[in-house]
Amino acid sequence: MLPRVYTALLAGLVVALLSSSAAGAQTITGVLSSRGSDEPIDLGYIAMLTEDGDGVASTITDANGRFRVTSPEPGSFLLQGSALGYRESVAGVFDIGAGGSMQIEFRLEPEAVSYRRSGSPRSRRS
């Protein structure tokens, strides 16, 4: 009988902790796409930053350009987006309140990727 009481107390504590941390969380979801064509960007990088530039959360976009980042604490945040072939960009300030969420469309400007061959793959001997 005693183990059941402890199990019930532990389960209640876990639920209370998860509820309190989720209540203060801010979540931003959205789609990362190419400016001009609106094509979704697969494998793009999204970072949630404080206004001072400190990292809070980050993720990689899915095949449809979708992303979701969540801060465990309320505050004001910036989003940084980047992907191969696109110019890195920062958007925000987003302040949505404790327990709030928002959805955004984040567009990156296409940018040519330069490739410079550094030389022969064979090693040189003197």
Encoded amino acid at 14, one letter: V
Q: Which residue has the higher pLDDT, 75 or 3?
A: 75
| Cβ-Cβ contacts under 8 Å for 106 (sequence gap 6 or more) | 30, 31, 32, 33, 46, 67, 79, 81, 89, 91
pLDDT higher than 60, residue 98: yes
| % pLDDT > 90, the chain | 56
Higher pLDDT, 116 or 35: 35
Using 50, 70 and 90 to split pLDDT, how confident is the model at 75?
Answer: confident
Structure tokens at 115: 């490739």
Q: What is the pLDDT of residue 120?
A: 56
How many whole angstroms separate alpha carbon 70 and alpha carbon 77?
Answer: 10
| Statement: the pTM of the whole predicted model exceeds 0.85 | no
Mean pLDDT of the chain: 81
Looking at the chain, the whole-number percentage of residues with pLDDT higher than 70 is 74
Q: What is Dmax (Cα atoms) for the chain?
A: 81
Is 27:69 a contact under the CB 8 Å cutoff? Answer: yes
Q: What is the pLDDT of residue 99?
A: 86
Per-range mean pLDDT, top range of 4-13, 41-50, 105-114? 41-50
Domains of the chain: 21-108 (2.60.40.10)
DSSP string, the chain: -HHHHHHHHHHHHHHHHHHHHHHH-EEEEEEEEETTT--B-TT-EEEEEETT--EEEEEE--TT-EEEEEESS---EEEEEE-TTB--EEEEEE---TT-EEEEEEEE-B-PPP----S-SSPP--
Tens digits of residue pLDDT in 22-49: 456 899 999 999 999 999 999 999 999 9
pLDDT for 37: 94
